Amino acid sequence: MNAYRIRPLDKAVDTTAFQCGQPSLDEYIRRYASQDARRNVARVFVATPASDDSHLAGFFTLSAGSIACTELPEALAKKLPRYPVPVALIGRLAVDVGFQGKGLGSILLVDACQKVANASAVLAMAGIVVEAKDDSTASFYQHFGFQHLPGSPTRLLLPAAAFFAS
């Protein structure tokens, strides 16, 4: 049986006690996430322990975006058109301190990439971009194959070829 249930944010989830170590992310899930979902600015997914549907253990957001070819690593830019290309954005991803270091961040990231790969059957994307909060979280994403975008210490990209079935 899965240890966590991942589903779109709903009213059954208690966001008030969530703390991940980044106050801006705590505030986002408490105050702005449901509004973003309602306005179609972001899809918000939450993870709760299988035994407790209301306990927020982690969350991530997905949105559509685009990136200029000048912002891409040169090797990838060479294979793409010179105009901005579509990407998926993992705008935010966070795990409550009580659940950190136990693999949930990895589960959420893999789930986000799978959702993007599924969506890519009907909506083309050249890759997934994440906005890490600092150097340390950037290394979390590098662990999974994301590469720094040139000139940005906190924006990283996973090219489509790394996660789409060919």
Ligand X SMILES: CC(C)(COP(=O)(O)OP(=O)(O)OC[C@H]1O[C@@H](n2cnc3c(N)ncnc32)[C@H](O)[C@@H]1OP(=O)(O)O)[C@@H](O)C(=O)NCCC(=O)NCCS
Footprint on this chain of ligand X (rule: CB under 6 A): 20-22, 25, 92-95, 100-106, 132-133, 136-137, 139-140, 143
Q: What radius of gyration do the chain's Cα atoms show?
A: 16
CB count in 10 Å sphere of residue 22: 14
Q: Rank residues 7 and 102 by Cβ distance to ligand X and give the closer one.
A: 102
Residue nearest to ligand X (CB): 105
Name the token pair of 12: 């059954």
Residue 4: active-site member: no
Q: How many CA atoms lie within 13 A of 133 on its CB side?
A: 11
Q: Rank residues 65 and 103 by Cβ distance to ligand X and give the closer one.
A: 103
Q: Which helix (H) or strand (E) holds 27?
A: helix 23-27
Beta strands 58-67 and 85-95 are antiparallel
Nearest-approach distance from CB 130 to ligand X, in angstroms: 7
How far is it, in rounded angstroms, from Cα 8 to Cα 149? 29
Nearest-approach distance from CB 99 to ligand X, in angstroms: 6
Q: Which residues contact 81 (CB under 8 A, 6 or more apart)?
A: 69
Q: Which helix (H) or strand (E) holds 7?
A: strand 4-8
Nearest-approach distance from CB 28 to ligand X, in angstroms: 9
Catalytic residue among 4, 32, 83, 141: 141
Q: Rank residues 30 and 80 by Cβ distance to ligand X and give the closer one.
A: 30
Nearest-approach distance from CB 161 to ligand X, in angstroms: 22
Q: Rank residues 77 and 152 by Cβ distance to ligand X and give the closer one.
A: 152
Which residues are designated catalytic? 141
